[in-house]
């Protein structure tokens, strides 16, 4: 875990995961393998058995041992006894992580929350994320009956800090349909004793069972006045108001390429020929048969991407906000297809974070660009972290941006793509958004 400072009056700090693939470009095999490992902890808990353990592969992968990310991924996707469950992932950070947990279970139905209302889809429920700058989550299943089954519910997030978000979710779900068993799954569990007691109290009140599993545990001590101190730090380092979410002065110049001046590299497009009818992710539900269909076509689509690359040795596959799983699996397949190329994966985000170009700080650079998918809450700034190289870092030879057709707009072309082209040639791969009117 790394540490950064949020531009958020509700929460001062951001814990930056080394295996999530959100804010830090990461080997996609490490990202997927870590998600499968978390899913194995869930599967073993549901079956009442000891989980399969990859030995030192995870720590080796984090230490940069050659071959360890592939070894971790391959070990964790070995066939195991499947279990049925409903897996819910949190937008936007944990959408691919939740997918990976569902993949590990083998027989699970997956749905992630979304902040994108979609015509014709009625909300099954909604809940609030206490510390987020954008709080409202919607559940928009294509088939609501998949959520009305008497099977365990697994709630997946990148971290459990206080657990309030998952308690909101459980309360909302239980009000619609009571359930006998919930499991919380996170990369890291940072809850204190009071937070754990609050979860136990909710379980007693609802007459249900709530378990929690995580790849790591720990605690964070926050001094008095941390929110105010964080805002002052943001203002002091960026030279502007801490509440604007903007990155002026030195931070802007380091992290966001200017609109005029630098030359632009090339822009091209890849025709993936996404399988007809296959959802682009879990916004409206994703079944085991969807995963099997996707995996049949991954190698073919990776070859399409590889054919669009130049003479490269370091490539970033960049996803789009909630659209994390399809870019992750494409990046994983591309890395397998190009073993001599360093393929990394990360995604854009709504979350405003302070960038400081220091080797000990988790968010060294940021790109700032306008939203490009006509968001329901109105236009706003979006961000891509650690895509531009920090001082002394090597940049990417080419960037593959994977976006759904809702986000493939003129605002994208004039905004993010222009900023990326200052850094490297850009290859755009567009996937059809499931549920969108043709």
In this structure, what token pair is assigned to residue 413? Answer: 């072309």
Q: DSSP class of residue 157?
A: E
Pairing of strands 136-139, 125-128: antiparallel
d(CA 318, CA 328): 9
Q: At what angle do helices 325-337 and 28-47 cross, to 10 degrees?
A: 120
Lowest mean pLDDT among 80-84, 219-223, 258-262, 279-283: 258-262
The whole-number pLDDT of residue 290 equals 97
Please give the share of the chain, as a percent, with pLDDT higher than 70.
Answer: 86
Contact between 327 and 320 under an 8 Å Cβ cutoff? The reply is yes
Residue 257 has pLDDT above 60, yes or no: no
**184 and 166 in contact (C-beta within 8 Å)?**
yes
Q: What percent of the chain stands above pLDDT 90?
A: 73
Q: Minimum mean pLDDT among 70-79, 99-108, 158-167, 380-389: which range?
A: 158-167
What is the end-to-end Cα distance of the chain in Å, rounded? 42
**Beta carbons of 90 and 157 less than 8 angstroms apart:** yes
Average pLDDT of the chain to the nearest whole number? 89
Residue 423 burial (CB < 10 Å; 0-12/13-18/19+)? buried
DSSP state of 275: P
C-alpha span between 129 and 110 (Å, rounded): 20
Question: Looking at residues 113-130, what average pLDDT do you find?
Answer: 77
E strand or H helix at 39: helix 28-47
Residue 28 pLDDT: 98
Contact 57, 68 (CB under 8 A): yes
């Amino acid at each position: 875990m790394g540490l950064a400072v949020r531009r958020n009056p509700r929460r001062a700090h951001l814990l930056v995961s080394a295996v999530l693939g959100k804010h830090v470009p990461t080997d996609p095999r490490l990202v997927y393998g870590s998600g499968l490992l978390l899913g194995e902890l869930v599967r073993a808990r549901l079956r009442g058995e000891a989980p399969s353990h990859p030995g030192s592969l995870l720590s080796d992968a984090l230490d940069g041992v050659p071959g360890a990310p592939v070894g971790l991924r391959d070990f964790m996707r070995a066939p195991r006894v499947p279990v049925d469950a409903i897996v819910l992932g949190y937008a936007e950070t944990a959408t691919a992580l939740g997918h990976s947990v569902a993949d590990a279970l083998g027989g699970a139905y997956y749905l992630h929350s979304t902040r994108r209302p979609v015509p014709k889809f009625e909300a099954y429920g909604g809940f609030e994320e206490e510390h987020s700058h954008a709080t409202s989550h919607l559940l928009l299943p294509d088939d609501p009956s998949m959520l009305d089954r008497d099977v365990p519910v697994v709630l997946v997030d990148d971290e459990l800090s206080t657990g309030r978000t998952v308690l909101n979710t459980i309360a909302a779900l239980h009000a619609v349909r009571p359930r006998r068993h919930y499991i919380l799954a996170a990369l890291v569990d940072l809850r204190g004793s009071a937070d754990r007691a609050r979860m136990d109290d909710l379980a007693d009140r609802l007459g249900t069972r709530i378990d929690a599993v995580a790849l790591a545990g720990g605690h964070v001590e926050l001094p008095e006045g941390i929110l105010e101190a964080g805002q002052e730090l943001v203002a002091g380092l960026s030279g502007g108001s801490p509440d604007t979410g903007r990155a002026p002065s030195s931070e802007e110049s380091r992290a966001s390429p200017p609109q005029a001046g630098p030359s632009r590299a090339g822009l091209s497009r890849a025709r993936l020929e996404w399988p007809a009818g296959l959802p682009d992710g879990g916004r409206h539900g994703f079944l085991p048969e969807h995963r099997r269909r996707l995996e049949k076509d991954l190698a073919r689509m990776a070859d399409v991407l590889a054919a669009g690359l130049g003479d490269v040795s370091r490539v970033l596959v960049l996803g789009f906000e909630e659209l994390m799983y399809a870019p992750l699996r494409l990046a994983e397949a591309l890395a397998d297809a190009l073993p001599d190329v360093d393929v990394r994966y990360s995604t854009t985000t709504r979350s405003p974070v302070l960038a400081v170009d220091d080797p000990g700080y988790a968010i060294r650079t940021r790109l700032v660009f306008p939203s490009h998918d006509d968001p329901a809450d109105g236009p706003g700034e979006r961000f891509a972290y650690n895509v531009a190289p920090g001082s002394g870092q090597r940049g990417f030879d080419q960037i593959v941006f994977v976006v759904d057709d809702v986000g493939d707009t003129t605002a994208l072309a004039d905004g993010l793509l222009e900023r990326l082209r200052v850094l490297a040639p850009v290859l755009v791969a567009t996937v059809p958004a499931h549920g969108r009117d043709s």
